[in-house]
Amino acid sequence: MPGQVAVTEGAFTWPSDSPRLLGSRCTSCNNHMFPAQDGCPRCTGTETERVELGTRGTLWTWTVQGFPPKAPPYIGDDNPLTFKPFGVGYVELPGQCKVEARLTEADPAKLKIGMEMELVFIPLKVDEDGNEIITFAFKPVES
Ligand SMILES: [Zn+2]
Amino acid (one-letter) located at 114: G
What is the distance between the alpha carbons of residues 88 and 103, in angstroms, rounded to a whole number? 5
Across the range 47-61, mean pLDDT stands at: 98
Q: Which DSSP category does 25 fall into?
A: E
Domain limits for position 59: 4-140
Q: Higher confidence at residue 13 or residue 75?
A: 13
What pTM value is reported for the model?
Answer: 0.93
CA dihedral 94, 14, 19, 90 (to 10 degrees): 40
Cβ proximity of 37 and 67 under 8 Å: no
What is the Å distance from ligand 1's center to 125 Cα? 37
In the structure, ligand 1 is a single-atom ion and the residues with CB under 5 Å from it are 26, 28-29, 31, 40, 42-43, 45
Contacts of 123 (CB under 8 A, 6+ apart): 4, 132, 133, 134, 135
Beta bridge partners of 49: 25
Domain count, the chain: 1
Across the range 106-116, mean pLDDT stands at: 97
What is the distance between the alpha carbons of residues 120 and 103, in angstroms, rounded to a whole number? 9
Please write the tens of the pLDDT for every residue from 6-47: 999 899 999 999 999 999 999 999 999 999 999 999 999 999
What is the Å distance from ligand 1's center to 14 Cα? 27
Instruction: Give which of 82, 104, 102 is closest to 12, Cα–Cα.
Output: 102
